[in-house]
Every structure is written in C-alpha cells, then in structure tokens.
Amino acid sequence: MGVRATKHIMMAVKKMRSRLGLAWVVLSALVLFSGDVLAHGERAQLASMRMRTVHWFDTQVTPLQAKVGDTVTLTGKFIPSVYWPETLPSIAAMAFLNVGVPGPTFLRVHSEVNGVPMMRSTAFPLGKVYEYKVVMRARIPGRYHVHPLINVENAGSLIGKGTWLEIDKADTDAPFVNNATVLTGETVDLETYGLGGVIGWHLVWIAMGVAWLLFWLVRKELFIPRFMRIRALGADRANELLTKKDFVVSAMFFTLTLTIILTGYLWAEWKYPLTIPLQTGKVGVLGLDVPDGNLKIEVDSASYKLDGRSLTMHAKMTNNGERPLRIDEFITANIRFINPKVAEGKIVEGEEMVARNGLTVSVDVINPGETKDVVIVASDTLWEQYRMTGLIQDPDSRFAGLLFYGDDQGKRYYQEVGGSILPSYF
C-alpha cells in the first residue's frame, strides 16, 4: 500500500506540474498579446475613488502620430471633487501634476496649470476648475497609453483618461539628444551627462561590497555556524567570536569607506563649484470658478441598477438664467455618457471611454425661470468594462460626476453633482 500510495502521489505531482506549466504559458500569452487591455491602469483604482476625487475632461493629446524628437502636447481640464472621500488625504494639501507613461519614454519640457509653471508641488482646492498643459518630447519609439495624473501626498496617483499615441523612429539614426545650458554657460547633453561618474561610483561600491563578502567567506564561519556557537557559548560571551583579525579588517573597511565618501564630496565640490539645491518650495495656483450657467441642481435620489448597468438620478433643476438649457452629457470616473440628441460631433480623435448614446434625459429643455423634475439615466456596458460596479460594495455609498449642459447659442456650462446612491438588484 505504501508503494502504491507513493506512485499515486508522484503521478498527481506530475499532473499538477503539467497544469501549472500550461497555466504559465497561457498567462505569458495574455501578457504578450493583450497590451491594449493591460494599458488601462485606471481600472485598478476603486470605483468610488475614481468618481469622487478628480473629474478629468477635455483631455487631448496632439499629435497622435509623432517621431522621436518631436513635441507632443497634452492638454485638458480637471475639477477636484467636493465629494472627496474623508478617508483619503486631500489634494488641497499637497499635489503634483504629472504624466503617466510606461517608463522614460518622453521628456517633459514644460508644464503649467492655469498659466502657472508646474515645476514644483502645489495644492488644488476642491470644487475649482484647473486647465493644464504639458509639453513633452518623444524619446523612444513605440505605442504608448498617455495619461494625465496627479500625485497626492500620502494618497498616491490619481489617473486621468488615457490616449493611445504612436511614436515612430526618427528620420536619421542619430541618438536622441537633450541639450541644456548649465550655469557656467557650457552646453551639455543631459542624456549622457555625468553617466561616467554614475557608473564609476557604482563600480567602486560594488567592489567594496564584494570584498567585504569575500573576507567573511574566506573565514569559513558564516551566519549559521556563528549563530550555533553563540547559542552554545551564551549571549554574554558573543564577543569571543570576534578575533583580532576581524577587528583590524573591519576597522580598515570602515576607514576606507569614510575616506571614499569624504574624497568624493571634496572632488564634487572642486569640480562643480556652482550648484543649485533641489527646490522643495510650493507654488500657488488660483482655481477658476465653475461655469454653472445659473442652473440650480438638487439631486433628490440616485440608484445603480446592476442588471441594467445604469445609474439613475432624480434631480430638481431650476433655470435662473436668461437662456433655455439642455442637458448635454454626464462624466464620471473618466467615462463620458453623451445625450445623442444634442451632443453629436463632440468626440476628440482617439478618445476612449465614450458612451455615444449612453445618456437619457426625461426633459429636453429647461426654459428660463422654470423648475423641473428631471430623470437622468447613464447606461452603457462601460460600467462593467471599467469595473465601476464595485461602487455598491463601498462602505460609503456615494457618487459624483460632472453634468454638462448648453444653451441655444452654443455656450457650454457644467457643474458637479453627487450624493448618496443605492443599489438596485431588480
């Protein structure tokens, strides 16, 4: 019975290995051939975080086809939500505008928010409009998913809508060059400047580490043997393991380490006498008021229907302006739900996450002075595709988004709406 049992166990192990091998092959194939799917990093964030942190809109990358060395411009707007989760550190404290790309594929030349250069960190008060612009130069050919993002202190990155961008090789075989003029007036290539020093210092410290390890390997008493001896002798006699040779060699390594550090510091001070320290200051950006068009919106209730993949809002709207208004679209978590009756032809080239017929509005027009009860339904499979159904599992069941509307003269208005949301299973 023991031999039979052993054979059965060996066969089971072989089958398990073959299955694991097949699973590994399938997983590798998915990684290799599903780049478009894996590129959407914004799906990994919680649905409630995407809905209630930053509302990105009017995101545009131009051009969508470029070559190495060409300039690419990323523009758009965002509004930090007034429904910001209380458990998340606020963007109104410390934040930094950035670009999400796979590695150092671009060189950022310039960035600004509402006309203010963004070389440093800043703060974005909630409920204000911020228009950003980031100018980059392409470094490496390939197909990239470019995202605007904001790094929030103690909260991480908040990712905006991505756009696919094709970068081709340059017309010449010359390497990419990033020239800059330093304080002394010298022009250097930042792609290779100081590279020799970086490699040299790495080699020095690798040599020191290898020499230190070789010394203890030659001693033939590594961690486990010494640990066993300490247990045999007792912790109070652990110093007996340190011989005179150990002490002398350790002192030599310690002295040599301090000497290298001091020599490197003095050499750098001599070679680079004019330097500017890294800047840690914080700049201020004045947020713009939201153009609400004198439309007052009060959300009475909201629900999410699971089987219908739709969010339904019941709101009371009062038009205090002078022109009739019509609901145009609804944006939440970077997904655009468009009312096909009034918003045709407003999709940017290369734009994703758009439900062209995803918005249904019960009222066509709200005339000046009117107050109407409006039912808005945002429905599309994008709810499921972008993992937005997880919002019903959040302990703080609330939603938020931007509602866009316009008048008969083509003027565009928008404001944030939000509140509590209840799931509907039937």
Cα–Cα dist 383/4, whole Å: 54
Q: How far is CA 154 from CA 87, 91, 333, in A?
A: 11, 10, 21
- And the tokens for 12? 């089971």
Mean pLDDT value across residues 40-47:
70
Beta carbons of 416 and 79 less than 8 angstroms apart: yes
Q: What percent of the chain has pLDDT over 90?
A: 59
- Fold classification of 295-424 is Immunoglobulin-like (2.60.40)
**Which residues, in sequence order, are CB contacts of 202 under 8 Å at separation 6+?**
none
**pLDDT for the residue 111:** 96
**Are the C-beta atoms of residues 47 and 333 closer than 8 Å to each other?**
yes
Q: What pLDDT was estimated at residue 39? A: 47
Q: Minimal CA–CA distance to 115: which of 338, 268, 284?
A: 284
The Cα 233–Cα 241 span in angstroms is: 10
- Taking the CA atoms of residue 317, residue 323, residue 326 and residue 329 in that order, the dihedral angle to the nearest 10 degrees is -90
Report whether 92 contacts 123 (CB < 8 A). Answer: yes
**Structure token digits, residue 385:** 């595709």
pLDDT in tens, 325-368: 999 999 999 999 999 887 655 777 777 889 989 999 999 999 99
The larger pLDDT score, comparing residue 231 to residue 189, is at 189
pLDDT for residue 275: 85
Report the chain's mean pLDDT, rounded to a whole number.
Answer: 86
Domain boundaries, the chain: 2-33, 45-183, 195-271, 295-424
pLDDT digits (tens, 9 = 90+) for 138-196: 999 999 999 999 999 998 899 998 899 999 998 888 888 999 998 888 999 999 998 99
pLDDT score of 93 more than 80: yes
Using a 10 angstrom Cβ sphere, with 0-12 exposed, 13-18 middle and 19 or more buried, the burial of residue 348 is middle
pLDDT at residue 3, as a whole number: 46
- pLDDT beyond 90 at 243: no
Query: b/e string for 306-333 if b means 16 or more Cβ within 10 A?
Result: eeebbbbbebebebebeebbbbbbbbbb
Q: What percent of the chain has pLDDT over 70?
A: 88
Residue corresponding to tokens 């030659």:
218
Look at the block and give the residue holding tokens 């300039």: 71
Question: What pLDDT was estimated at residue 60?
Answer: 92
Residue 26 has pLDDT above 80, yes or no: no
Residues 6 or more apart in contact with residue 174 via CB below 8 angstroms? none
User: DSSP for 51-103?
Assistant: HHSEEEEEEEEE-SEEETT-EEEEEEEEEE-TT--TTS--TTTSEEEEEE-SS
CATH topology of domain 45-183: Jelly Rolls (2.60.120)
Q: What is the rounded average pLDDT of the residues 280-297?
A: 93
User: Quick check: 419 and 293 in contact, CB under 8 A?
Assistant: no
Sheet hosting strand 54-62, strand order edge to edge: 54-62, 71-80, 130-138, 106-113, 116-117
Output the pLDDT for position 388.
84
Q: Are 400 and 332 in contact (CB under 8 A)?
A: yes
Nearest Cα neighbor of 110 from 131, 137, 135 is 135
Better pLDDT: 106 or 242: 106
Q: What pLDDT is attached to residue 74?
A: 96
Predicted confidence at residue 46, as pLDDT, reads 80
Instruction: State the pLDDT confidence band at 281, using cuts at 50, 70 and 90.
Output: confident
